[in-house]
Amino acid sequence: LASLALAPSEGRTDSQEGRWRPPEKPVVEDWRAINSRRNAKWWYAAFHNVTAMVGAGVLSLPFAMSELGWGVGITVLVLSWIITVYTLWQMVEMHEMVPGKRFDRYHELGQYAFGEKLGLWIVVPQQLVVEVGLNIVYMVTGGQSLKKFHDMVCHDRCKSIKLPYFIMIFASVQFVLSQLPNFHSISSISLVAAVMSVSYSAIAWIASADHHKKNSAEVDYNLRATTTPGKVFDFLGGLGDVAFTYAGHNVVLEIQATIPSTPDKPSKKPMWKGVVVAYIIIAACYFPVALVGYWAFGNQVDENILITLNKPKWLIALANMMVVVHVVGSYQVYAMPVFDMIETVLVKKFWFTPNLRLRLIARTVYVAFTMFIAMTFPFFSELLSFFGGFAYAPTTYFLPCIIWLIICKPKRFSLSWFANWTCIFIGVPLMILAPIGGLRQIILKVKTYKFYQDYQPDAQHISGHR
């Protein structure tokens, strides 16, 4: 990965072999997945950000509310939305903060702030954990939603199929789509995915409200856990679930890199316009799903709200298929920067020829890797909690603030200075504490889980009765 820090060379001599290396730019820079085309409009930024943000995590928000409770849950949701809007604005602004240069990738911005080597080691591992982790979770989500759709449509008339097979079916689509060369080529897929995410979010909260209306039995809003340790660890897990839902910062610079820019018309103007539209849509999805889902089911809600919902069957089956279509697109949005990194390293470090064969092999191996991990550890909510705190919190909540303080140097005790340090003081504990809850839940699941057998989330098992 250190080779990513190298600027395109003008040709050089290898000191060990005495061979002259040809210029890299013509064969690498114009071939890379991120900046090979720059003709996107503001609405591209809008639906790419919606696809990146409103993913599988929105379906876990009612479950997170059941771990946090009404007061804390609403506070965490609102604060997270405000903080992430602010840090996303910072990243859009910093994309072209240096005259004549564009930071097309998160690690390039980190390298400018922290130095070539240190910036690479600070940003790239976290960004890879986020993007690879999301791709694994989306494999699990796609498989679970396909299985739910199959079970609801067949209604005990069909032979039962184990979850790993559905994950393989979902992965088969990704094997094909992963061969699309760059961000521009997945625009149509991303647009459809964005529409699907809004649609199934609406179905989730409307169906939840309808369920509450038809079932007048009292709903229990006490915390899921019954023991003090369970409440503490569930609280930490809930924080991780919320953090997971705001992971779009990890691809925002890559999305902005697809927008053309001139001194008179910098890319930040259409990009910010797209971000504002996207965040309005995000709020319209997140808050109703979280609040209405928890209001309807209380602490009996499952880790995925669509698993809890069963009626009307045709509508819930349709919503699950919408989830499948959405995570097909979301997988590609988060995989594209990973493809960019992998292929750049192979070309620059190991001198592979940038061609179709390299793309076919590298991307197929990556999709197969995420499929294998998803089949081995299909723990939806626990994966959200663990990854959400471990890497999503730094790259989303406070790393942009640290970079802003280094590059922009706001006046001490100014509003900008206070705002950035507030985000840092909130984000750092979130990074430390949230993974603990998710990791504990994963350990509890592994104790009873049989690898590569069928797996169904059990609300009672994960409800804190431990």
Cα–chain center distance at 251: 9
Q: Is 261 helix (H, G, I), strand (E, B) or coil?
A: coil
pLDDT digits (tens, 9 = 90+) for 395-446: 888 899 999 999 999 998 899 999 999 999 988 888 887 777 667 777 777 6
Going by pLDDT thresholds of 50, 70 and 90, the confidence category of residue 1 is very low
Is residue 137 scored above 50 in pLDDT? yes
Q: How much of the chain, in percent, has pLDDT values that exceed 90?
A: 23
Res 87: pLDDT: 93
**pLDDT exceeds 50 at position 21:** no
For residues 137-143, average pLDDT: 88
Predicted pLDDT of residue 453: 61
What are the tokens at 131? Answer: 């993007």
Contacts of 133 (CB under 8 A, 6+ apart): 383, 387, 391
Q: What confidence tier does 347 reach under pLDDT thresholds 50, 70, 90?
A: confident
Query: Cα–Cα distance between 53 and 459 in angstroms, integer?
Result: 26
In sequence order, which residues have a C-beta less than 8 Å from that of residue 202 and are 6 or more positions away?
285, 288
Bridge partner list, 21 = 12
382-405: burial string, b at 16+ Cβ within 10 Å, e else:
bbbbbbbbbbbbbbbbbbbbbbbb
Please check whether residue 286 is in contact with residue 243, taking contact to mean a CB–CB distance below 8 angstroms: no
pLDDT at 252: 87
Average pLDDT over residues 93-122: 88
Higher-confidence residue of 34 and 21: namely: 34
Q: Average pLDDT in the 282-305 region?
A: 88
Sequence-ordered list of residues with C-beta below 8 angstroms from that of 93, at least 6 positions apart, any chain: 268
- Candidates 190, 299, 179, 205; CA nearest to 251 is 190
Q: Are 45 and 274 in contact (CB under 8 A)?
A: yes
- Per domain, the residue ranges of the chain are 34-448
Fold exhibited by the domain 34-448: Amino acid/polyamine transporter I (1.20.1740)
